[in-house]
Amino acid sequence: MHIAILTFDGFNELDSFIALGILNRIKKPDWHVSIASPSQQVRSMNCVVIERQIDLIEASNADVVLVGSGMKTRQIVEDKGIMSQLSLDPSRQLIGAQCSGALILAKLGLLRNIPACTDLTTKPWVQEAGVKVLNQAFYANQGIATAGGCLASQYLAAWVIARLEGIEAMKSAIDYVAPVAEKGLFVDLTLQQVSPFLDE
Amino acid sequence: MHIAILTFDGFNELDSFIALGILNRIKKPDWHVSIASPSQQVRSMNCVVIERQIDLIEASNADVVLVGSGMKTRQIVEDKGIMSQLSLDPSRQLIGAQCSGALILAKLGLLRNIPACTDLTTKPWVQEAGVKVLNQAFYANQGIATAGGCLASQYLAAWVIARLEGIEAMKSAIDYVAPVAEKGLFVDLTLQQVSPFLDE
C-alpha cells in the first residue's frame, strides 16, 4: 500500500507532516508513505527545505494520494506543468486534501457535486471554483475526503487508516500520537469526525 | 526572539514540525523559528531528509530552545560530540522538551528536582535518569517545560507563545491551526493544559 502526500513549494509543515507521522504508525512491510513533490527539493512556508521522496508521476500511481496545503496553491493550480502530472482517479485510489489542497482537487474536477472542507483562508477560492464549502473539519464522499484547519490533518490520516486497515488500527494510531492522559479524548474526537463516513 | 527546535537524526516529524508550524503563527519581524541539527542534513524516523537551518552552537544561544524527539535519543545522549555543543541555561532561556527530548534535558542536568512529561516509550529511560515522570501531557516549572505524546507539541508551542507574547496571542495561534468548527474546543484544551503554569 503506497500513500503519496503531495507537497509543493510553500507547503504548510503541519499539513504534510501530521499526516505522514500518523500514517507511518501502520507497521506493515507493504505500507509505505512518501512525500511527493514537483522538484527534488521543496521549501516550506517557513523556509524548511526538504528532499522529495517521489515525483508527481509516481504519486499519481499510488494507492492513496493526499494533497497537502501551502501558501502557493493558487499559483500551483495555474501551473500546467505541475497540474498535467496529476492524474488522480477515485475509482482506483483513495484521494484526500488538506486545507488549500481542496483547491487542487476542485481544479482537477474531482469535487463536482461533492462538498468539501478547507481552511477559512482558502474557502473563497474553493467556492469560486464552484465547490460548496462545509463548516466542519472533515468530510468524505466515497473515496474522496477533505479536511479543514491544519490540525484536522489527524482526521484525514485517520480516515485513510480506517478505510484500509480498519477502525481498530485507526484508534491505535491516534492513541499512540495523542497527548499523554488525553488519549481517550483524542480517539473519541477522531471517531466523531471520521466514523460517519465509514459506513457508505 | 529566536526559537531553536533541536532536531536530530531519526527525529519524529510531528514533534519538530507541529511546534515549528504553530510558533510561526507569530508574525513579528524579530520572531524567528529555526530547525537546529548537528549536521547539515538530518533524516527523520520515516526517512524524510531535511536541511538544518542553524547548528547546535547557534541554537544554544537562542532565546528559546525546544528539544524535539526521535528514535535515536538514547544514542544521542551518549554522543559527547553532540551533547558538548548543548549549553542550555534556564536563567537566560525558555527551555522545552517534547517526548524523548526530556531524556536530553535530564542528561544535561536540567531536570534535577523537576518532574517531567514524556511519551510512554521513553518513560522508563527518563525515570532511569533519576527524573520523576508525570502522567500528564504538559508540565512547566519556571522556564522549563516538557510535553508527552506527539500531539502535545501544540501545548509546548502554546506555552512558549503565552510566555513571550501573552495568552491572547497563544489563543489566536491555536485558533488558527485548529480544525474548522473545533477551534473553541482546541483553544480550551490548550488553556487547560498550559494556563496552570503561567502564574508562577
Contacts of A148 in chain B (CB under 8 A): 179-180
Give ∠ CA A14-A179-A160 in degrees, rounded to 5.
55
- Mutation target to probe the A interface, by most A beta carbons within 10 A, among B12, B42, B182 is B182
pLDDT in tens, B79-113: 999 999 999 999 999 999 999 999 999 999 999 99
Residues 6+ apart with CB under 8 A from A95: A64, A65, A66, A67, A88, A105, A110, A143, A144, A145
Residue B13 has its nearest CB partner, among A20, A183, A185, at A20
Judge: B151–A117 Cβ closer than 8 Å, yes or no: no
Polymer length of chain A: 200
Judge: A137–B182 Cβ closer than 8 Å, yes or no: yes
Judge: B178–A151 Cβ closer than 8 Å, yes or no: yes
Contacts of A181 in chain B (CB under 8 A): 135-137
Contacts of A132 in chain B (CB under 8 A): none
Place of cell 526521535: B70
Nearest chain A residue to B192, by CA: A182
> What is the rounded average pLDDT of the residues A81-103?
98
Domain boundaries, chain B: 2-197
A188 vs chain B: nearest CA distance in angstroms? 13
Judge: B21–A14 Cβ closer than 8 Å, yes or no: yes
Residue B136 has its nearest CB partner, among A18, A46, A181, at A181
Cα-Cα-Cα-Cα torsion B136, B142, B143, B147, nearest 10 degrees, comes to: 0
Secondary structure of residue A133 in the 3-state scheme: strand
- Mutation target to probe the A interface, by most A beta carbons within 10 A, among B7, B12, B17, B185 is B17
pLDDT (0 to 100) of residue B200: 53
- Mutation target to probe the A interface, by most A beta carbons within 10 A, among B7, B13, B54, B190 is B13
A136 vs chain B: nearest CA distance in angstroms? 5
B107 vs chain A: nearest CA distance in angstroms? 22
User: In chain B, which stretches have pLDDT less than 50?
Assistant: none
Nearest chain A residue to B179, by CA: A149
Nearest chain A residue to B155, by CA: A179
- Identify the bridge partners of residue B141 per DSSP, sorted by sequence position: B144
Reported pTM: 0.98
pLDDT in tens, A167-187: 999 999 999 999 999 999 999
> What is the rounded average pLDDT of the residues A123-140?
98
Contact indicator for A161, A153 with CB cutoff of 8 Å: no
Task: pLDDT band for A130, please (50, 70, 90 cuts).
Answer: very high
Nearest chain B residue to A185, by CA: B189
Euclidean distance between CA atoms A190 and B135, whole angstroms: 22
pLDDT (0 to 100) of residue A199: 75
Contact indicator for B88, B27 with CB cutoff of 8 Å: no
Contacts of B35 in chain A (CB under 8 A): 48
Going across the sheet that includes B41-43, the strands are A41-43, A49-51, B49-51, B41-43
Nearest chain B residue to A173, by CA: B150
B49-51/B32-36 β-pairing:
unpaired
Q: In CATH, which of 3.90.226.10, 3.40.630.10, 1.10.260.30, 3.40.50.880 is domain B2-197?
A: 3.40.50.880
